[in-house]
Amino acid sequence: MSAYTYDVVVRGGTVATASDVFVADIGIRDGKIVQLGLDLMPGRREVDASGRVVTPGGVDAHCHLDQPSPPPVRMADDFDSGTLSAVCGGTTTVIPFAAQQKGASLEAAVQDYHQRADGKAHVDYAFHLIVSDPTDTVLTNELPDLIQRGYTSFKVYMTYDDLKLDDGQILDVLDIAKRHGAIAMVHAENSDCIEWLTKRLEASGMTAPRFHAHSRPMLVEREATHRAMALSELIDVPILIVHVSGREAIEQIRWGRAHGLNIFAETCPQYLFLTAEDLGIDDSYVGAKCVCSPPPRDKANQQVIWDGLKDGLFTVFSSDHAPYKFDGSEGKHPNGQQVAFRHIPNGIPGIETRMALLYSEGVLSGRISLEKFVELTATGPAKTYGLHPRKGAICIGADADLVIWDERDLVITNSALHHQVDYTPYEGMKLKAWPGCTLLRGELMWDGKSFVGPRHGGQFLPAGRPSILPRAARDTSPAHPHSLSTKPLEFP
Ligand code: URP
Ligand code: ZN
Ligand code: ZN
pLDDT in tens, 327-339: 999 999 999 999 9
Report how many domains make up the chain: 1
Residue 467 domain-assigned (yes or no): no
Question: Residue 276 has what DSSP assignment?
Answer: G
Residue 398 domain-assigned (yes or no): no
pTM of the model: 0.96
Residue 475: alpha-carbon gap to chain centroid: 28
243 Cα to the center of ligand 2, angstroms = 7
- Relative to the CA of 160, which ligand 1 atom is closest? 8
pLDDT tens digits along 362-412? 999 999 999 999 999 999 999 999 999 999 999 999 999 999 999 999 999
pLDDT band at 198 (very low <50, low <70, confident <90, very high): very high
Whole-number Å distance between alpha carbons of 253 and 8? 44
Whole-number Å distance between alpha carbons of 81 and 58? 17
Residue 374 domain-assigned (yes or no): yes
pLDDT at 492 over 70: no
Residue 481 domain-assigned (yes or no): no
- Helix ranges (H only) for 359-404 are 370-374, 380-384
Residue type, 181: G
pLDDT tens digits along 299-355? 999 999 999 999 999 999 999 999 999 999 999 999 999 999 999 999 999 999 999
Residue 31 Rama label (left phi>0; alpha psi -120 to 50; beta): left
Whole-number Å distance between alpha carbons of 355 and 54? 13
pLDDT at 80 over 50: yes
318 Cα to the center of ligand 3, angstroms = 9
Question: Residue 164 has what DSSP assignment?
Answer: B
CATH code of the domain in which 303 resides: 3.20.20.140
Task: Name the helix (H) or strand (E) containing 14.
Answer: strand 6-16
Residue 397 domain-assigned (yes or no): no
Contacts of 251 (CB under 8 A, 6+ apart): 222
In this structure, which residue's CA is closest to atom 6 in ligand 1?
347
Residue 89 domain-assigned (yes or no): yes
Q: Which domain holds residue 103?
A: 58-384
**Mutation choice for ligand 1 from 60, 64, 155, 220, CB with most ligand atoms inside 8 A:** 64
What confidence score (pLDDT) does residue 489 get?
A: 55
Question: Residue 286 has what DSSP assignment?
Answer: G
Residue 227 domain-assigned (yes or no): yes
Residue 48 domain-assigned (yes or no): no
